[in-house]
Structure 1
Amino acid sequence: MSFPVSLQDIIKAHQRIAKHIHRTPVLTCTTIDNLVNRKVFFKAENLQKTGSFKPRGALNSILKLKEEHSKVAGIVTHSSGNHGQAVAWAARLADLPCCVVVPQGTPEVKAQAIKGYGADLVYCDPSPTSRVETCDKIAKDKGYFIVHPYDQYNTIAGQGTMAVEFLEEVPELDAILVPISGGGMTSGIAIAAKAIKPSIKIFPVEPLGKELGPCLKEKARLWKNPPQFVDTIAEGIRTQQLGHLTFPIVCELVEKQVFTVSNKEMVEAMKFVWQRMKTVIEASSAAGVHAVMSEEMRQLDPSLKNIGVILCGGNVDIDNLPW
C-alpha cells in the first residue's frame, strides 16, 4: 500500500532541516539490557532543539510553505506545549509571525518557552475541539497558515527523519517503540523505517485510556466523539484520537500489539532514567521506557533482539513534578 508520504519525501525533509536541528545521540543502558535480555537503544529527542522531537515536523512544514508560496503572512498552530514551542522556534528561524493556541492548564515551562521564542500565546478551553476552533479562527482572521501538530503530510515527513537517523546509527534494530498521541511521529517513523528495513516492527505506546488497540484490530475509529483528552500526566500524548491522515498509516504499518502505560508506571520510569541514565525526560518519554522494561516486552518474540525507543521529549516543569 502506498501513502502520500514516501521515504523520498522524508529524505528530502531531512535535507531541508538537517542544518538547523540537532542530530540527537543514541543512548544505551546496560541495566535495562540485562533486565529485558535484549539490546535497547534510546533515540534522545529530549535533547533536540526546544526539548522534543517536534521541530522536525514543524520546521519541515514551515520551510516547505515558504518554498511553495511567494508570501506567507504568518503561522498558527494548536498544541499541548511541545509542538507549540517547536513552531514558535521554527517560525522565528523562518522570520515569520507566529501564534500558538494552548489549552488552559498547559505547563508554565512550556508556555513561557513559546513566548520566549517570540510567538503570541492564546489560551483556549482544555478540549481538542476548542483547540481546533480557536486555531481555525485565528488562521481565518489573520490569513495565517496552520501547521498542524500531527495531521499534515509535511509534519509527518519531518517526524520520519528520526527513523532515517536511527537506522543509520543502529541498522540492526528489529523494533522501535514509539509513544503515540495524534500519530504524526508514529506514522513518519513507520513509513521511513519500513521502507528502509521492511522486517522492522513498530510498536505504539499509549497512556491508559487511549484505547488504541481495539481500533487497530478493527481498523476502525471506535472512539466516541467529540474528541477527548486522556486523563494522564503525560500531556504530550494526551490526545485520545489519532488524526484522520495518520490513522490509516498506523493501521497499515504498525503492530496491533499496543503497550499501555499508567501514570504510576510513567513516574517510575521517569525517575529511573533521571537517576540511572542521568537524563531528563518528560512523562511522554517515560511511557516508552516503561514499555521496554515491562513484562510484556520480556514475553515478546525473542528474535527481536535490538529494540529502539524514542525519548520524545524532556520538557518538565521542575516546580510541579508528577510525583
Structure 2
Amino acid sequence: MADPVPSLADIANARERIAPHVHVTPVYHSELLDTYTGARVHFKCENLQKVGAFKARGASNAVFSLSAEEAARGVATHSSGNHGAALAMAARRRGIPAHIVMPANAPSVKQDAVAAYGGLVISCEPTLAAREATLERVVAGTGAHVVHPYADPRVIAGQGTVALEILEQVPDLDVIVVPVGGGGLLSGVALAVKHLRPEVEVVAAEPEGADDAFRSFGLGELQPSVAPKTIADGLLAGLGALNFTLIQQYVDTILTVTDANIVAAMRLQWTRLKTVVEPSGAVSFAALLEHPERFRGRLVVTVISGGNLDLDRLPW
C-alpha cells in the first residue's frame, strides 16, 4: 500500500483478499436487551470471528499483502493477545514464521492461543517500552516484517471490512458503537461508514480507566496513555497517531464507561444474548447502559470485538 493513509478502495480490496481466511460474522438482536436501553440494539459478533476477535481481519490483510520476499522472513509484532493470535494464524496459513512479543502478565488463555496457532511467544516486562525494545531485538535477529497491532494501514483496512458487512446486514441503522484501544478497528470502521453512509453516527466507547482516546479527541491533540487500569485488558494500548488522524476526521464522539458497566454489559450478553464476550468486547454495549439517553429510540449496532478470556477468572 503506497499511501500510508488507507482509503475506501483499500478496505474493499482487503475484503476480497481476506475472504478465504475469515468469517462473515453474524448480527444478533435481542428484544429483551432493547428494554435495558430503550434502543433497538443489534450486535455485530466479531467474538465469533476466527481466533475469537476482529483482529483476524487486519492481520490476514497484512500477511497476505506481503510480497513473497517479505513473507519469507516471517512476521513479528507485540501484542497483549488477540492480535498476536491473529497474526500467528495468518502466518501459519501462509506458511511463514510468526514472532509474537507478549507482556508476561498477558492472560494465559491468550498466550496459549498464540502458541496453538504456531506463533513463537517471546515474553517481556509489561510496559510499552519493554514491548517495543524486545520487538526491535527480535526483528534485528530474524529480519521479520513488523505488523503493528493497529497503526498499520493494512491492518486498519482489514478491520474496516467489519463496517462493509454491517452496512449490508443492517442497512437502516442510525448509529455504530465501536470499542477503542489503539484505534485500528475504530479508524477503519469510521472511514468506511463515513464514505458510504455519512449520515450514520460513529460512536467510540472506551473504559474510563484507559481514556487516552477520549482525552485526545476532546483536546484535539494526541494524549499519552498513562498507567491505564481497566478490566478491559484488550483496550490498554495507547491510541496510534495514524489512527487518531482518522478518528478526528471520521468519528462523531467518544464516550467513556465504568468497569462496573462493562461487567454488567458482559453479564447481560452472556445470559441474554447467549454468547461469550470478553470485557473489551462488552465496552460498546456498556456505552448504551451508561449513556442511554444518546441512543433511545434509535437503531444501534454495537460491535462485540472479541470473546477471548480466562474462564477461571470471570469477573463475577
TM-score, structure 2 normalization: 0.95
For 1:35 and 1:204, locate their aligned partners in 2 and report how far apart those are by CA, in whole Å.
20
Deviations 1:263-288 (A, max 9, x none): 22211111111111110000001111
Q: 1:248 to 1:4 in 2, by over 3 A?
A: same
For 2:312 and 2:36, locate their aligned partners in 1 and report how far apart those are by CA, in whole Å.
32
Aligned to 1:248: 245
Note if 1:282 corresponds to 2:294. Answer: no
SS in 1 for 2:311: coil
Q: What's the offset of the Cα at 1:147?
A: 0.7
Deviations 1:29-49 (A, max 9, x none): 111223322211110000000
Aligned to 1:142: 142
Using the aligned pairs only, state the percent identity: 39
Q: 1:70 to 1:271 in 2, by over 3 A?
A: closer
Deviations 1:210-268 (A, max 9, x none): 33333212210233xxx5451111111112x2101111111111123x22122222111
Note if 1:47 corresponds to 2:48. Answer: yes
Aligned to 1:119: 119
Aligned to 2:232: 234
For 1:98 and 1:217, locate their aligned partners in 2 and report how far apart those are by CA, in whole Å.
37
Note if 1:260 corresponds to 2:256. Answer: yes
Residue 101 of structure 1 aligns to which amino acid in structure 2?
V
Contact 1:285 / 1:312 at 8 angstroms: preserved in 2? yes
Deviations 1:19-60 (A, max 9, x none): 211110000111122332221111000000000000100000
Residue 218 of structure 2 aligns to which amino acid in structure 1?
K
Aligned to 2:200: 200
Q: What's the offset of the Cα at 1:292?
A: 1.8
For 1:248 and 1:186, locate their aligned partners in 2 and report how far apart those are by CA, in whole Å.
12
SS in 1 for 2:160: helix
For 2:198 and 2:145, locate their aligned partners in 1 and report how far apart those are by CA, in whole Å.
35
Q: Which moved more, 1:207-216 or 1:73-82?
A: 207-216
SS in 2 for 1:319: helix
Gaps of 5+ in 2: none
Q: 1:70 to 1:255 in 2, by over 3 A?
A: closer
For 1:248 and 1:118, locate their aligned partners in 2 and report how far apart those are by CA, in whole Å.
34
Q: Note the 1:20-31 alignment, pairs <5 A.
A: 20-31=21-32
SS in 2 for 1:64: coil
For 2:89 and 2:273, locate their aligned partners in 1 and report how far apart those are by CA, in whole Å.
28
SS in 2 for 1:83: helix
Contact 2:222 / 2:241 at 8 angstroms: preserved in 1? no
Query: Following TM superposition, where does structure 1 have runs of at least 4 consecutive aligned residues deviating by more than 6 angstroms?
Result: none
Gaps of 5+ in 1: none
Residue 79 of structure 2 aligns to which amino acid in structure 1?
S
TM-score, structure 1 normalization: 0.93
**Considering only aligned residues, what root-mean-square deviation do their CA atoms show, in Å?**
1.7
